[in-house]
């Protein structure tokens, strides 16, 4: 049972019953979608390790780090290399030491004695070449950062913050257990994304905000906005003739797992990416209507709607900017490269990689904008059916 809001929407029992029945019907449809699109077993999935993708990694520690002559000449490069000797801390060869050499270039790892690193292990490789440097060990840093985030959320949100964290974990579980395996198994990516988004919306909203009328209204607004987002994503991906091969990862996937619909992956990314911002907007709008009604219970449905809409306009203005900047920030290296190439803005935007991000941002933003009037109208209509304070009887005199 989730936590309860102290500013829930005041509605009559029959209105609450109708909203609950609609939510239950959508939950049943979502459950049917999960069953129909559920992934199969792993036995039929492609083995990407045959294409050189390593799946086994082991921790190691740098014992010695220095610079010196390269063991093997580097054609066209320097004769000085960064050298390191690492000791495996786990795996079948724990305790074994391995010598590494890197070219003395800016992208070569600058290792120091005592640094923790990760070694890729390929048991089928020739003896002496089974291990290769993969990356630095960053798990401890990520763990403590995640702990700091969790503590901050709990300190501010208390019980509601704990529920929000549980919802976050549940959302990640849905993506890892259902969404990605189903897409890998060749299910329709857009339908998998819609069903996954619905499951996440149910879990995240009810866990974080409780089983209240306000949460149910926010849920209905979220699902309606996600459906609109999915339809727009399909339409504009078709109009833009996206191939899905804009990145090296996509090309690799097409070779390793031909059953995956790469265009569908783009559409799935649009829907999943828009979900977080949309449910934030819908909860805010439902809460805004509740607060306005509590402040003046005599307002009509239209007045409630217009008041809530005024709150939503400001929220949308800042959230849309957040979405655009988030996508731009994730693509900064590519954008810098385009600027250095002296290409025009229209030429840059026309490239599929950038065009995909533009469609993702704008379609997601349209869904975000649409969630404001949809949720506000639902909340205002629900409150309009509630028991309003009766007007005083006219003076019989």
Across 72-88, average pLDDT: 78
Q: Is the pLDDT of residue 6 over 70?
A: no
Give the pLDDT of residue 255.
56
241: left (phi over 0), alpha (psi -120 to 50) or beta: left
From CA 365, how far away is CA 200, in angstroms rounded?
19
Give the pLDDT of residue 3.
36
E strands of 15-173, at which residues? Answer: 57-69, 80-88, 97-103, 116-121, 131-136
From CA 147, how far away is CA 154, in angstroms rounded?
10
Supply 367's token pair: 């869904």
Give the pLDDT of residue 44.
63
From CA 28, how far away is CA 35, in angstroms rounded?
11
136 versus 4: the higher-pLDDT residue is: 136
Across 256-273, average pLDDT: 78
Q: Is the pLDDT of residue 395 over 60?
A: no
142, 237, 239: which is closest to 190 by C-alpha?
237
334 versus 292: the higher-pLDDT residue is: 292
Across 324-329, average pLDDT: 74
Give the pLDDT of residue 150.
95
Terminal-to-terminal C-alpha distance of the chain: 54
pLDDT in tens, 184-235: 888 888 999 999 999 999 999 998 888 899 999 999 999 999 999 999 999 9
Give the pLDDT of residue 385.
58
From CA 176, how far away is CA 392, in angstroms rounded?
58
Q: Is the pLDDT of residue 306 over 50?
A: yes
Question: How, if at all, do strands 80-88 and 97-103 pair?
Answer: antiparallel
List, in order, residues 6 or more apart from 260 with CB less than 8 Å away. Answer: 183, 184, 186, 189, 253, 254
Percent of the chain with pLDDT over 70: 87
CB atoms within 10 A of CB 120: 17
pLDDT in tens, 339-392: 777 777 778 778 887 888 888 888 988 999 999 999 999 999 888 755 444 444
From CA 243, how far away is CA 318, in angstroms rounded?
32
Residue with tokens 């000791």: 87
From CA 327, how far away is CA 241, in angstroms rounded?
21
List, in order, residues 6 or more apart from 245 with CB less than 8 Å away. Answer: 251, 254, 262, 352
Report the SS3 class of residue 292: helix
CB atoms within 10 A of CB 335: 15
173, 172, 174, 192: which is closest to 182 by C-alpha?
192
Q: Is the pLDDT of residue 328 over 90?
A: no
Give the pLDDT of residue 208.
86
213, 254, 249, 262: which is closest to 375 by C-alpha?
213
From CA 196, how far away is CA 175, in angstroms rounded?
7
């Amino acid at each position: 049972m989730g936590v309860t809001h102290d500013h829930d929407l005041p509605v009559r029992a029959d209105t609450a019953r109708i909203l609950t029945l609609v939510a239950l019907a959508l939950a049943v449809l979502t459950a049917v979608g999960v069953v129909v699109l559920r992934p199969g077993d792993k036995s039929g999935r492609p083995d990407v390790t045959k294409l050189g993708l390593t799946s086994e990694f082991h921790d190691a520690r740098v014992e010695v780090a220095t610079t010196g002559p390269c063991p093997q000449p580097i054609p066209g490069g320097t004769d000085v290399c960064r050298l390191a000797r690492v000791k495996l801390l786990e795996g079948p060869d724990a305790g074994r030491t391995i010598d590494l050499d890197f070219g003395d270039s800016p992208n070569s790892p600058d290792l120091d004695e005592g640094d923790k690193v990760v070694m890729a292990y390929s048991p089928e490789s020739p003896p002496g070449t089974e291990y290769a440097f993969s990356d630095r060990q960053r798990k401890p840093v990520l763990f403590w950062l995640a702990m700091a985030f969790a503590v901050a959320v709990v300190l501010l949100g208390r019980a509601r913050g704990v529920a929000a964290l549980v919802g976050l974990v549940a959302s990640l579980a849905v993506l890892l257990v259902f969404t990605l395996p189903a897409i890998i198994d060749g299910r329709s990516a857009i339908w998998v994304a819609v069903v996954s988004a619905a499951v996440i919306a149910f879990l995240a909203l009810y866990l974080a905000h409780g089983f209240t009328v306000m949460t149910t209204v926010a849920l209905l607004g979220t699902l309606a906005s996600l459906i609109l987002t999915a339809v727009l994503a399909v339409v504009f991906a078709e109009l833009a003739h996206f191939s899905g091969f804009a990145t090296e990862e996509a090309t690799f996937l097409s070779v390793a797992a031909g059953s995956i619909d790469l265009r569908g992956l783009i559409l799935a990314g649009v829907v999943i990416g828009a979900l977080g911002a949309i449910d934030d907007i819908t909860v805010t709008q439902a809460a805004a209507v509740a607060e306005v009604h509590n402040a003046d219970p005599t307002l009509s449905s239209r007045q409630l709607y217009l008041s809530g809409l005024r709150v939503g306009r400001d929220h949308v203005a800042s959230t849309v900017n957040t979405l655009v900047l988030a996508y731009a920030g994730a693509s900064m290296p590519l954008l810098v490269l385009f600027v250095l190439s002296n290409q025009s803005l229209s030429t840059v935007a026309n490239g599929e990689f950038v065009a995909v991000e533009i469609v993702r941002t704008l379609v997601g933003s349209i869904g975000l904008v649409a969630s404001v009037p949809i949720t506000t109208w639902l909340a205002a209509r629900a409150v309009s059916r509630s028991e309003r304070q009766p007007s005083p009887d006219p003076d019989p005199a």
